Structure 1
């Protein structure tokens, strides 16, 4: 079939101009680290997020700071990648407290985080109402608030500050994020379960349970971005992130 010359010229022009437009758009965005991820045709923001996956939290922090504390991220059709990313306290309060009934997690969320069972983390509606009331009552208890405050002060004075002094005198390099993770996990287990893991000692013991919990969140994020059929096949074959999740499940 012969293609008319004008149509051929139009197609050739589009083939040339569209990549040029996307290239220069990408270059202009790269000069502004706080710019929103590039929304490509069909594949949408997936390439931009994939490039930043090694430091995604830092990247999201920059983007949130430059775009009013909120932005939408979505990926190619067929993936589960549909996110509203926010760090606005008013939005967080609206979603999790004042209007939480308008934001059910659903069966897909429960399947992804099946490691949590039928806990409050997974349930919706009437099943969630009673546990929420109980937790709110406990957390608003003056006795518990005073106990948490005393526990926090004790951890800082007797564990965290001595560890900082030790590091200052021996001058080692350390990861501040890991140190804060150790502090928060140590504090939570001491206050809630009366267990002292000792993660803030100078020998820096392994924190297997905390790492396992991080793995659950990391793999859950991966599953949200992939079609359900993809991660379910990986789970059946016990490969990739699903294999890491199985190991984390064993630890927990």
Structure 2
């Protein structure tokens, strides 16, 4: 009964909200940020598909930080894109700003793994993750499987599309590339999702649905989304169904662990857990953590990498000069594999260990991530009363949202040309990559929680970017429109439809 009452109250509030909107629109006085009671909420929610840009615009006019006090929520909401605030919270005073219970409540699909943990539990799991990602075998396995996936998976699909004049959803192709890699690293199993038929990936669809539900959990009253979950309706129904798919996927991976595999493929997170290897610091009764970390690695490897690559290809497709510079750099600094075999008709792939020489390509990827960070928002909950460098006061009842998307569009942070795609801003006078502090370039979070897979992510992205750009011309189609999804990741809502043509050397 209390849930039903809460639901009715929410519906009444929504009804009142739209009555107010209609009242102001009819009088041509729709200055949304000034609406009574609702504050700036309508300005953000009106034309919700433009959410990211609208919020960025508001933050620019408010010097990078806004504090919202809504009677609809027991929490105050502070939204910031100010690097000084980010550095203060996530580096200088890291222990005071954990992810907290509100984060875990909304991101419960990740359970008790590294992605959701805080304090001592986070320290233990972070140590284990670092041991895995810095291990020599991990880098050897990556150097082996990434070129294989490109050569045996990506290239055949692109060649088939070229020969048959087919449209390709490039986001879907890149997602499959990252999914196959991440699943091998996490479990030793190759799902081989990259094939001519492009088989459906239920896991990816499940996480896409879960990501949208989690995003909306931040903008509707908790009683409402919990009621939706109880009634199995709306986005919470998709979330619940997706969770079942994710668990079934994981259980199938457990079964496959008994299958024989090559020695190098035995170095994966799931196998190390099951064999209680010291690298992952196994503990008693940690089956749940094992599951949560395996799923988190697959999600992070698949979703964030493919999202970053998709926006990169969209940006360079609009900048022919950037594509020319990348191709010229590859020609000068990378050696084609099997260069002496003389097969000129075959697409040219490049030696994996030479990817570090591609400075301009690295800069272009950084610039893409600045404008379109794969994870556009992070949240924190203070453990005590505090004052941020911006002067805003926070306490235990403040829900802090860090807006990485807006940070890349702040003129005070990146200059007046911050809206331009300009890889040159990342290159030093002596031709190296310019270092930008992580609390300013927030695409990989910042220390101590900076993404452990940052360096390997660049290698994975450069490998496929070099292969595609050097061998193919990409034409982005006008329909469907290119817009970001409203989810915990910034993937494109309708994918990225392109025509692919072989480039003549």
Q: Report the TM-score, using the length of structure 1 for normalisation.
A: 0.70
What runs of 5+ residues in structure 1 fail to find an aligned partner?
A: 1-16, 27-37
Q: Do the aligned partners of residues 239 and 203 (structure 1) sit closer, same or farther apart at CA in structure 2, a change above 3 Å counting?
A: same
Q: Do the aligned partners of residues 244 and 18 (structure 1) sit closer, same or farther apart at CA in structure 2, a change above 3 Å counting?
A: closer
Tell me the distance in 2 between the aligned counterparts of 1:85 and 1:173: 40
Q: RCO (CA 8 Å, sep 6+): is it higher in 1 or 2?
A: 2
Tell me the distance in 1 between the aligned counterparts of 2:189 and 2:200: 16
Question: Within the alignment, does 1:148 sit opposite 2:129 as a pair?
Answer: no
Tell me the distance in 1 between the aligned counterparts of 2:201 and 2:141: 24
1:220 aligns to what?
214
Q: Do the aligned partners of residues 43 and 19 (structure 1) sit closer, same or farther apart at CA in structure 2, a change above 3 Å counting?
A: farther
One of 117, 122, 127 as aligned partner of 1:123: 117
1:159 aligns to what?
153
Q: Do the aligned partners of residues 169 and 136 (structure 1) sit closer, same or farther apart at CA in structure 2, a change above 3 Å counting?
A: same
CA deviation after TM superposition for structure 1 residue 95, in Å: 6.8
Tell me the distance in 1 between the aligned counterparts of 2:221 and 2:108: 17
Alignment of 1:46-85 (within 5 A): 46-54=41-49, 59=53, 77-79=71-73, 82=77, 84=79
Q: Do the aligned partners of residues 173 and 44 (structure 1) sit closer, same or farther apart at CA in structure 2, a change above 3 Å counting?
A: farther
Alignment of 1:1-252 (within 5 A): 22-23=29-30, 42-54=37-49, 59=53, 77-79=71-73, 82=77, 84=79, 100-252=94-246
CA deviation after TM superposition for structure 1 residue 72, in Å: 5.7
Q: Do the aligned partners of residues 95 and 199 (structure 1) sit closer, same or farther apart at CA in structure 2, a change above 3 Å counting?
A: farther
- Asked if the contact 1:46/1:75 (under 8 Å) is kept, the reply is no
- Report how many aligned residue pairs link the two structures: 222
Tell me the distance in 2 between the aligned counterparts of 1:202 and 1:60: 40
- Asked if the contact 1:81/1:226 (under 8 Å) is kept, the reply is no
Q: Do the aligned partners of residues 40 and 196 (structure 1) sit closer, same or farther apart at CA in structure 2, a change above 3 Å counting?
A: farther
Higher helix fraction (1 or 2): 1
Residues 78-124 of structure 1, C-alpha deviations (whole Å, 9 max, x = no match): 25794647598x99888777864343111122122223222222221
Tell me the distance in 2 between the aligned counterparts of 1:86 and 1:151: 38
- Asked if the contact 1:186/1:199 (under 8 Å) is kept, the reply is yes
SS in 1 for 2:167: coil
CA deviation after TM superposition for structure 1 residue 215, in Å: 1.7
Tell me the distance in 2 between the aligned counterparts of 1:210 and 1:120: 20
CA deviation after TM superposition for structure 1 residue 19, in Å: 9.0
